[in-house]
Amino acid sequence: MNMIDCQKVSKGYRRTNALEDITFQLTDQKITGLIGRNGAGKTTLLKILAGLTKHKSGEVNVFGKNPYNNLLVSANSILVDDQMTFPDSLTLEEILSSAPAFYKKWDTQLAVRLFQYFKLDSKQQHSKLSKGSKATFNMIFGLSTHCELTMFDEPTNGMDEAVRTDFYRALLKDYIAYPRSILISSHHLSE
pLDDT score, position 2? 87
Low-confidence ranges of the chain (pLDDT < 70): 189-191
Q: What is the Cα–Cα distance from 119 to 94, expressed in whole angstroms?
A: 16
Q: What is the Cα–Cα distance from 120 to 14, expressed in whole angstroms?
A: 41
pLDDT score, position 191? 60
pTM for the model: 0.93
DSSP 40: S
Q: What is the Cα–Cα distance from 147 to 129, expressed in whole angstroms?
A: 25
pLDDT score, position 189? 66
pLDDT score, position 76? 96
Cross-strand bridge partners of residue 184:
33, 152
The sheet carrying 181-186 orders its strands as 31-35, 181-186, 149-153, 77-80
Q: What is the Cα–Cα distance from 76 to 70, expressed in whole angstroms?
A: 10
Q: What is the Cα–Cα distance from 117 to 114, expressed in whole angstroms?
A: 5
pLDDT score, position 104? 94
pLDDT score, position 71? 94
Q: What is the Cα–Cα distance from 126 to 95, expressed in whole angstroms?
A: 9
Contact predicate 115/147, CB 8 Å: no
If one counts every other C-beta atom within 10 angstroms of the C-beta of residue 32, the result is 15
pLDDT score, position 190? 67
pLDDT score, position 90? 96
Question: What Å distances lie between residue 75 and 41, 104, 118, 152, CA to CA?
Answer: 24, 9, 27, 16
